[in-house]
Amino acid sequence: MAKLLLLGGAGFIGSTTCERLLKENNEVTVLDNFNEYYDPALKRKNVDSCIKVAQSSGKYTLIEGDIRDSELISKLLSENNFDGIICFAANAGVRPSIENPRYYFDVNVNGLLNVLEGMRNSTCKKLVFISSSSVYGNNKSVPFKESDNVDHPISPYACSKKAGELMCYTYHDLFNLDIHCLRYFTVYGPRQRPDLAINKFTRLLLNDEEIPMFGDGSTARDYTYVDDIVEGTCLSLNYLLNNEGVYDIFNLGGSHPIKLKEMIEVIASELGKEAKIKQLPMQLGDVEITYSDYSHAREVLNYEPKVSFKEGIHNFVKWYKENME
């Protein structure tokens, strides 16, 4: 059993990971600010689910707060002997980051700095930092490898995540923090944020509304089912808890890009609907393809995704109909 801190642990991936850790009888403290990027009531529902799990296994504590509050973070880390931290807390979304880059850097860079400073001055030296495949930009070499150059991010969000990886390395080198940076590739599944394409398109199809398709439908994403992402994240955490002198970066993806047009077709087929497509120009900050080479994660962490895209969409649609309609 470990004593763990999940920053941003009420959201889509954070709460799903939290439930997994609770079921393994860990003691989990969640810090979340319940911001209004999407309806906070959805996060409250996620928390309720975690509390129910904790009634039979694990121990759950919720703290409402912001990682930009340096005093709160410092106090939290100094007063609790956490064994490890997973930092999900971040402002997500490529397109909104173009509209408000200052806010994104304040949360994603300054907030992470507070966490690293708090760890530097506490007993907790293990951190899983959630990065993003966005750092690869329009990488011409596919599939994307962790050794690829990521000096050309094309959105403030991507830039803030690369900055986070660099900060993590600096604190690892200077203060002996053990850190993994996990580059997630387009996560989907139950509890997915309503602003993300699969959730949004499901809603529009069910309402017989038009689907906005940016570009000609040939852009592709390496969709990765949430349970596979949670498995990889827990494998990373367990590795850190049992090893010293660690800094590493891992792709967590499925290595099977799905084109936008195909993604719409799969959701429509699952719903028994016919998609009405409204073709629109490509958006600023959007990349042509994401495609993970996860061989490094397989070799070091024993990570191996299991859920196919069609199976994952089936699971998501079932959840959506039971919870969102």
At 82-106, the pLDDT tens digits run 999 999 999 998 889 999 999 999 9
38: buried, middle or exposed (CB in 10 Å: 19+, 13-18, 0-12)? middle
pTM: 0.96
Pairing of strands 220-221, 258-259: antiparallel
Q: Which pLDDT does position 189 carry in this prediction?
A: 97
- The alpha-carbon radius of gyration of the chain (Å, integer) is 19
Q: Which pLDDT does position 325 carry in this prediction?
A: 61
36: buried, middle or exposed (CB in 10 Å: 19+, 13-18, 0-12)? exposed
Q: Which pLDDT does position 101 carry in this prediction?
A: 96
Which of 157, 184, 223, 294 is flagged as catalytic? 157
Active site residue 157: yes
Domain range 3-187+225-253+292-306, CATH architecture: 3-Layer(aba) Sandwich (3.40)
Q: How far is Cα 249 from Cα 2, in angstroms, rounded to an integer?
A: 23
- Calculate the CA 226 to chain-centre distance: 9
Angle in degrees, CA 19, 68, 49, rounded to 5: 15
> Model confidence over 205-221: pLDDT tens digits?
999 999 998 888 999 99
DSSP label at residue 210: P
What are the distances in angstroms from CA 15 to CA 44, 53, 67? Answer: 10, 11, 17
Residues of the chain scoring pLDDT < 50: none
Per-domain boundaries in the chain: 3-187+225-253+292-306
What are the distances in angstroms from CA 173 to CA 83, 167, 319? Answer: 20, 10, 43
